[in-house]
């Protein structure tokens, strides 16, 4: 199952993006090693992805992805949840403050590249149709943080012979659900372990995420050029 055609409808445009003459800005949110972040960094540096990473945010101070970003000269921020819990604050408070943090960088897209928190509307309302999530499973299969292990267990029970990767938009608080932008199947092989299956899935993730982001950006830029052309015709 694969969906290489990615369409961003004109109604999904955000107002500050329209008629932009500089590369669109990405805010990348991570919780771990940042291998998908590195794929994005590499794609930007080689010109495969015509965008700029404005900031990388992690909810974990030890996340190696922060070091990857710093090595690439990208601003980083650490935004932990624990102080909010210790102070008895709501999750919405954390999300609202994260949205305010990102507002400083005016991102056009928010990319969840291994981000391990579920957002409330206190964050989601600021980026409608502009939050992109990567998940190591196909639509409707194996949601949550243990998707690879769940797929492997299902294979061992004879229930499936493959898993996959999807990139989708995040419109609401559902876990690993939303309008699907792209998918790719990853076969499960006899004798696979978590590590061997994860390695193949991660390789697909790196490629599919970058390809999808590049198409999103290209589609949006094309729409903006058409909008600009129409505006000039009606002057």
| CATH label of the domain that carries residue 33 | 3.40.50.170
Q: Residue 69: inside a domain, yes or no?
A: yes
Residue 62 lies in a domain: yes
pLDDT reported for residue 231: 63
180-187: strand order across its sheet = 76-78, 52-58, 25-30, 109-112, 131-135, 162-169, 180-187
Residue 1 is assigned to a structural domain of this protein? no
pLDDT at 8: 43
Residue 189 lies in a domain: yes
Residue 3 lies in a domain: no
Instruction: Say if 17 falls within a structural domain.
Output: no
Distance, CA of 204 to CA of 209 (rounded, Å): 8
Is the pLDDT reported for residue 72 higher than 60? Answer: yes
Q: How many domains does the chain have?
A: 1
Is 206 part of the annotated catalytic residue set? no
Catalytic residue from among 126, 135, 168, 206: 135
Question: What does the CA dihedral 100, 103, 105, 109 come to, rounded to 10 degrees?
Answer: 110
Q: In this predicted model, what pLDDT tens digit does every residue of 8-48 receive, in sequence order?
A: 433 344 444 445 568 999 999 999 999 999 999 999 999 99
Mean pLDDT, residues 156-176 taken together: 95
Report the predicted TM-score, pTM, of the whole model to 2 decimal places.
0.87
Residue 19 has a pLDDT of 55
Is residue 194 one of the residues assigned to a domain?
A: yes
pLDDT digits (tens, 9 = 90+) for 51-71: 999 999 999 999 999 999 999
74-124 residue pLDDT tens? 999 999 999 999 999 999 999 999 999 999 999 999 999 999 999 999 999
- Please give the Cα distance from 37 to 178 (Å, whole number): 21
> CA–CA separation, 135 vs 149, rounded Å?
13
According to the model, what pLDDT value does residue 89 have? 96
Residue 222's pLDDT band, with cuts at 50, 70 and 90, is: confident
pLDDT the model gives residue 13: 43
Which tens digits make up the pLDDT trace of 120-136?
A: 999 999 999 999 999 99
Residue 192 lies in a domain: yes
Which residue range(s) make up the domain with 152?
Answer: 23-233
């Amino acid at each position: 199952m694969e969906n290489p055609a990615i369409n961003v409808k004109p109604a999904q445009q955000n107002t500050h993006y329209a008629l932009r003459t500089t590369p669109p800005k990405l805010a990348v949110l991570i919780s771990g090693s940042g291998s998908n972040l590195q794929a994005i960094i590499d794609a930007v540096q080689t010109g495969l992805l015509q965008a700029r990473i404005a900031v990388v945010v992690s909810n974990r101070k030890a996340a190696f992805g922060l070091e990857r970003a710093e090595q690439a000269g990208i601003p980083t921020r650490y935004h932990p949840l624990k102080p909010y819990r210790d102070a008895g604050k709501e999750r919405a408070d954390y999300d609202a403050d994260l949205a305010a943090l990102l507002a400083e960088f005016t991102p056009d897209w928010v990319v969840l590249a291994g981000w391990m928190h579920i957002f409330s509307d206190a964050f989601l309302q600021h980026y409608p149709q502009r939050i992109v999530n990567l998940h190591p499973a196909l639509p409707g299969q194996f949601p949550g943080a243990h998707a690879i292990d769940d797929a492997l267990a299902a294979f061992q029970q004879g229930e499936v012979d493959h898993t996959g990767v999807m990139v989708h938009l995040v419109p609401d608080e559902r876990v690993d659900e939303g309008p699907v932008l792209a998918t790719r199947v990853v076969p499960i092989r006899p004798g696979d372990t978590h590590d061997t299956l994860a390695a193949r899935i991660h390789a697909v993730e790196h490629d599919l995420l970058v390809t999808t982001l590049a198409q999103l950006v290209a589609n949006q830029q094309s729409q903006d050029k058409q909008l600009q052309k129409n505006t000039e015709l009606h002057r």
